């Protein structure tokens, strides 16, 4: 398995024997399933061959501090290989292909981690697996332009298009191929096929408003991207007034921990962010219900947490929000508080395996049900670019590495 993944990471065609019954166990398990009356294992191999012959191009003309953390290749190769990783656990052979994107993404993440796949390749491949069906669904639904633009801040849409097109061709599905082309054309019209949308003000306009240092320029432009795409503020003059107001406020900082239960968030926060004000969802549950495990008042719990976060940020303080925050939906409220307070936002993804989280959970005084931890891993989403100004990954040893933005060239 390691050798197969390493071949793809190095952009080399894998050994054809890897796709036979004697190959890696997860590939061999795909035998017995069909897509459009073709063996699924053959479809996977054809899709991968198509991508290896016609890979998405590399990004062009982006400065290092604005360039997204991902790259289309080799993550798209790995995604094509692992696309159906969970299928044998969810369906009987010959029984059709049930929806399995989230589960396959979760299984792929653990298999790729065990194969020592680099973090950026692994997580981008996981995002591609989770979202490849959107090549179809976004076109069918007639989604708003902002939806496509938000999407372009979470993964490389060229890679997603190439993956969807390769799968459609491998399955000989002309309708799906047509929708993939419609997806590409729409992205090109919106200007997000080559990368994320630019902020609504140019770097020069931001500098003219008093943001002279590169870090504050980056934070201001990324906040504007949030206000454009998520808050849906549309007037150009509003953005200028917003930045003028932020210059006169104390600048707080919000640290958002991201990770399933059992991944070590609380311990790491107290050891590394202990000088900040730590707002804990578990502690708030205890205050409101008497039991940190009581989920009956979750809306009130998070509202109180966000109120406290907002109050501290307006005072210009550093605040750490200790909660799972494993999906963008769960991060919505603290992110809103951080952006409207004019704070710098940092995320910290706890990059710990499911196996280790389950083991840590066994040693906790208050254990989380195993199915809850597994659900968190299945739904885990890396933050989109506009969700924070600096993104860190925290390894099992507790070391934190900034993965976006990258250092200047």
pLDDT value of position 93: 76
Q: Is the dihedral of CA 319, 324, 328, 333 positive or negative?
A: negative
Domain boundary among 229, 248, 267: 248
CA separation for the pair 332, 90 (Å, rounded): 31
**Do 315 and 286 touch, CB atoms closer than 8 A?**
no
Q: What is the pLDDT of residue 17?
A: 53
CATH number at residue 393: 3.40.50.300
Same domain assignment for residues 186 and 202: no
User: How far is CA 281 from each of CA 57, 314, 330, rounded to the nearest angstrom?
Assistant: 43, 20, 12
CA angle 273–380–165, rounded 5-degree value = 135
Domain region containing 224: 198-248
Same domain, 259 and 209: no
H or E stretch covering 361? helix 354-362
Whether 47 and 112 map to the same domain: the answer is yes
153 and 111 belong to one structural domain: yes
Question: pLDDT tens, 70-99?
Answer: 989 999 999 999 999 998 888 877 777 888
Same-domain status, 119 and 137: yes
**Sole residue written with tokens 């976060």:** 309
Let me know whether 38 and 56 are in one domain: yes
Whether 138 and 226 map to the same domain: the answer is no
Give me the torsion for CA of 105, 109, 115, 119, rounded to 10°: 120
CB burial of residue 96 (10 Å; 0-12, 13-18, 19+): exposed
Rounded Cα distance between 103 and 376, Å, is 11
How many CB atoms within 10 Å of residue 205? 17
Helix (H, G, I), strand (E, B) or coil at 35: strand
Residue 409 lies in a domain: no
CB 335, CB 381: distance < 8 Å: no
pLDDT 10s digits, 254-299? 999 999 999 999 999 999 999 999 999 989 888 888 776 677 777 8
Q: Does 27 map to a domain?
A: yes
pLDDT band at 230 (very low <50, low <70, confident <90, very high): very high
């Amino acid at each position: 398995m390691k050798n197969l993944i390493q071949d793809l990471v190095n952009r080399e065609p894998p050994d054809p024997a890897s796709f036979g019954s004697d190959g890696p166990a997860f590939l061999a398990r795909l035998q017995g399933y069909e897509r459009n009356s073709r063996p699924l294992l053959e479809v996977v191999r054809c899709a991968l061959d198509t991508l290896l012959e016609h890979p998405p191009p590399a990004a062009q003309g982006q400065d290092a501090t604005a360039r997204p953390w991902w790259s289309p290749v080799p993550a798209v190769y790995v995604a094509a290989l692992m696309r159906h990783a969970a299928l044998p656990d969810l369906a009987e052979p010959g029984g059709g292909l049930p929806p399995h994107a989230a589960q396959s993404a979760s299984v792929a993440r653990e298999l790729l981690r065990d194969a020592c796949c680099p973090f950026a390749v692994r997580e981008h491949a996981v995002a591609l697996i989770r979202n490849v069906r959107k090549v179809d669904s976004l076109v069918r639904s007639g989604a708003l332009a902002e939806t496509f633009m938000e999407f372009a801040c979470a993964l490389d849409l060229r890679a997603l298009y190439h993956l969807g097109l390769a799968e459609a061709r491998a399955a000989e599905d002309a309708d799906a191929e047509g929708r993939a082309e419609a997806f590409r054309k729409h992205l090109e019209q919106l200007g997000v096929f080559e990368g994320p949308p630019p902020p609504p003000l140019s770097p020069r306009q931001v500098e003219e408003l008093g943001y002279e240092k590169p870090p504050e320029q980056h934070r201001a432009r990324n906040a504007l991207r949030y206000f454009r795409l998520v808050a849906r503020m549309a007037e150009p003059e509003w953005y200028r007034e917003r930045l003028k107001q932020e210059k006169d406020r104390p600048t707080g900082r919000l640290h958002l921990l991201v990770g399933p239960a059992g991944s070590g968030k609380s311990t790491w926060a107290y050891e590394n962010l202990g000088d900040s004000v730590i707002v804990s969802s578990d502690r708030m549950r205890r205050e409101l219900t008497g039991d940190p495990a009581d989920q009956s008042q979750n809306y009130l719990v998070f509202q109180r947490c966000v109120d406290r976060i907002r109050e501290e940020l307006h005072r210009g303080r550093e605040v750490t929000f200790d909660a799972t925050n494993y999906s963008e939906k769960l991060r919505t409220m603290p992110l809103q508080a951080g952006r409207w307070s004019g704070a710098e936002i940092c995320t910290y993804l706890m990059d710990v395996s499911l196996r280790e989280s389950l083991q840590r959970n066994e040693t906790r005084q208050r254990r989380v049900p195993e199915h809850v931890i597994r659900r968190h891993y299945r739904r885990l989403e890396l933050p989109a670019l506009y969700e924070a100004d600096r993104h860190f990954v925290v390894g099992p040893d507790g070391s934190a590495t900034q993965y976006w933005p990258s250092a200047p060239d």
